[in-house]
Structure 1
Amino acid sequence: MAGFGLEQWVSYLGLERVVDPDKDHPVYRKPLDGKIIDLRQLDLLVAQRLRDLRTDRQLAQAKVAMLLGVKEATYARYENASSLMTVGRLLHVFEVLNITPEEFFDPLVNEQPSHSKADSREALRDQLMEETGDHLKKLDDTTLKMVHDLVLAMEPRTIDKQKGNGAAKAAP
């Protein structure tokens, strides 16, 4: 049994034939979010994701370069997509930034369906909760205790505002 023919495989995977200016023959790509992203654009998205993750972790390019064993100029070229990384180097970057390949690529390849306003608020809340948790993990014990106490002190006020109209209660 010969298996799928080219056209069957292309159809099965939902690929589209595209012209890549760097190739002298057609290539087949899968649309992302309803459109096919040029490979150069994809390289730029990967570079931007790399830069965003590094800055989110408050790491200097020099520090990441040192951890990777490359020159700072080399690492800077990775972040502006003027140099491309090998798969091995990219996996090393994931180790240094403490991220899985799935976490790295998920925002780049998953389609973003349209959401209602309630879904958007919930997604924003989820994102804020996750980012806040990430920041809290970086705090020393004393600072974390202070933030904890502050949140506890704010909680009754927040609940009261949600229940009432903000007016003071009448004296007995």
Structure 2
Amino acid sequence: MTQSKADRLAQQIKSRGLVESREPGNSKPVFRKPGFRGVQDFGALENARASSVRRERKAAGLSRETLADMVGIAEQVYARYERAASHLTATRLIHLCELLAIEPTRLLHDVAPHLWGATKEEADNRTKLALLLRDVPADVLPSLIDIVMRLTPAPSHRGEAPDLEGDEA
């Protein structure tokens, strides 16, 4: 007997620990993974992202005008990103990370730390470790991968390092 579409959806939602949420302008329910403070609406996520981008720009010692010029957009357009009045595309986020010399992990952790761990402390520690890896000498990385694989429970990596497809950037 085949499962109905609704049964398959319900099974996937449950197995992933998702909860139903509503978003303005969308008549259908959306399913989200709750964070440490429950499910934040998309507006709260955009505000956190905007604050993070603004903080990183200031830490880099750049004015909004200078960064906007580097991005190739008007300062007023860029300012909307920092006010959460406009959504950043993934490609624009990557571009900003290039210009600010930061890891996307840093910005994404600020917005959704629950994606990195079950508790805030665990999420912060995993993110700190990921950021530290950037400065590990390239010739040490294979040995470090072997060490981490030995420390990682087998089901998560099945004896092999994760394969990264499409990494020809």
Q: TM-score, normalised by structure 2?
A: 0.62
Deviations 1:57-110 (A, max 9, x none): 111001110110001111101100111122211111111111121122123222
Give 1 or 2 for the bigger CA radius of gyration. Answer: 1
Q: Please say if residues 113 and 120 of structure 2, whose CA atoms lie closer than 8 Å, have aligned partners that are also in contact.
A: no
Aligned in 2, Cα 1:71/1:114: closer, same or farther, shift over 3 Å?
closer
C-alpha displacement at 1:38, in angstroms? 0.6
1:58 paired with 2:61, answer yes
Per the alignment, residue 79 of structure 2 pairs with 76
Cα distance in 1, alignment partners of residues 25 and 120 from structure 2: 34
Percent identity among equivalent residues?
Answer: 29
Q: Counterpart in 2 of 1:86?
A: 89
**Which runs of 5 or more structure 2 residues have no equivalent in the other structure?**
133-169
Root-mean-square deviation (CA), in Å? 2.5
Query: Which amino acid counterpart does residue 43 of structure 1 have in structure 2?
Result: E
Amino acid of the structure 2 residue aligned with 1:55: K
- What is the CA–CA distance in structure 1 between the aligned matches of 2:65 and 2:81, rounded to whole Å? 13
Alignment partner of 2:44 out of 41, 45, 51 = 41
Task: In structure 1, list runs of 5 or more residues that go unmatched.
Answer: 116-122, 131-172
Alpha-carbon distance in 2 for matches of 1:88, 1:54 = 17
TM superposition outliers: structure 1 runs of 4+ over 2 Å: 111-115
